A = this chain, B = another copy of it.
Amino acid sequence: MPPEKNIAARQEKQPSAMSRRNFLKAGAAAAMSAGLAGTLGAKPLAAAQTTSGAGYVKSKLHSRIDYGGATVRYVEHNDQWLGTSQILGAVKQYHEADQGFYMANRGKYTQEAQDCFYHYHFVMKHPFNNAIATFAMSLMPDQMVSGTPAAEKIPIPDPEQMTQHIKDCAYFLRADEVGVGRMPEYGYYSHKAPSQDDLLRDDLSNSVPVTERLPYVVVVMVDQHLETMLASTGYDGISAAQSMRSYHTTGVISVILADYIRKLGYNARAHHFTNYAAVMPPLTIAAGLGELSRTGDCTVHPRLGFRHKVAAVTTDMPLVPDKPIDFGLLDFCRVCAKCAENCPSEAITFDRDMVEYNGYLRWNSDFRKCTEFRVTNSEGSSCGRCMKVCPWNSKEDSWFHTAGTWIGSKGEASASLLKNIDDIFGYGDEQIEKYHWWLDWPERYGPPQH
């Protein structure tokens, strides 16, 4: 019997058994009967394509991914595309210090931006945002994100069941969405940024090269909170707290998951807000959780839009990657441009088409303008106005919004229909006062006081 059929037959007989005893016993029997011991782990995709009609491995706790109303197609993995993002040539890895906030820190932007970043003023000036970010910094030490795996590896005869299990762990730990991707090499930073002192002198000579190359990535996503978004302008005092809410929770989940995987004998590194060795958007796309958008490098999720942050775990545990998704976002972004109309820093382009950038196609938005506005914003703490106005972030659990996003994934003409409906309903401009639960400190939002 070919191994795929064997696996499928076993799964029919034991549709829900997942104790480790059964898991290993059945898996080992299947592997031995097919002469596959030690090799199944190397061919995870074959298993995924034969046993799953959906483009993702189902979790027991969340057996269906909630895409809202969007129609989602799955995209095969290949070297010319990452999901719906076209790869034109060699994609160069980034140096972490070339990321926007570090550029501000290095004095590559305005003096005011450097000053605000150095004092971490743009988040910390609001005491609630400060408290969440302060906690998130406790996740920063290298021993929180990485370590040596246990000497003994748990055998994994069936990577699909292990993938299901890892997703269930993440959902149990309160992730809102979980996906698994093949880790793209260009997802890693080339180097980690050096110390704060070196950065201030713009001296990158002590940067540490990122040498890790692990084949899979688990991406966990947490919603930035619907009601708060509905009450906020997107760039007022609570804006950074919305990011911090998702950063700290995904950070904790990634730290626990990576530690667990190492305890099972495999390499695993967590990547989160205060300690990355990889850049999140390509990982998010690889894990089937979003597509690139008009903003340039930020991804949109079919139900949450930009209203999320992710953390990730890279690993060599044999897993079955989910497929990247296509819900028509590129056609949509081409005609919508609501984020560009509303961007307070005018960072987001109105260009109709994507352009080549670093070996791939993306919209030509300006992350310098975006970063400068976020770190110096004197009307609030950071900015997420694009998150607020994007028609894809679900405003409510209504048939209307579900229908709207269903329409939105049907091509260019319907994209402009969704955008018009969104505008007519005033979405993006609403500031629903009954949800305005936070306190504002306008006198602290200006430049840092020395």
Contacts and interface: CB of A to CB of B under 8 A. Distances in A.
A51 to B, nearest CB: 17
Given A131-B256, A263-B131, A437 B174 contact: no
Nearest to A263: B127
Interface residues of A, number: 54
Nearest to A20: B439
A173 interface: yes
Given A20-B439, A168-B437, A438-B168, A135 B259 contact: yes
Contact of A19 (B131, B144, B174, B440): B440
A173 B130 CA distance: 14
Contact of A172 (B144, B245, B255): B245
Given A128-B169, A172-B228, A172-B245, A18 B263 contact: no
Given A172-B245, A249-B174, A135 B256 contact: yes
Interface secondary structure of A, over-half rule: helix
26 contacts: A16-B436, A17-B433, A18-B436, A18-B437, A18-B439, A20-B440, A21-B440, A21-B442, A59-B437, A60-B435, A60-B437, A61-B227, A127-B150, A127-B260, A127-B263, A131-B257, A131-B259, A131-B260, A132-B173, A135-B256, A165-B437, A165-B439, A168-B437, A169-B437, A169-B438, A248-B256
Interface of A: 15-21, 23, 59-61, 127-128, 130-132, 134-135, 138-139, 144, 150, 164-165, 168-169, 172-174, 225, 227-228, 241, 245, 248-249, 252, 255-257, 259-260, 263-264, 433-442
Q: Which 4 A-B pairs have the closest CB atoms?
A: A20-B439, A168-B437, A131-B260, A127-B263
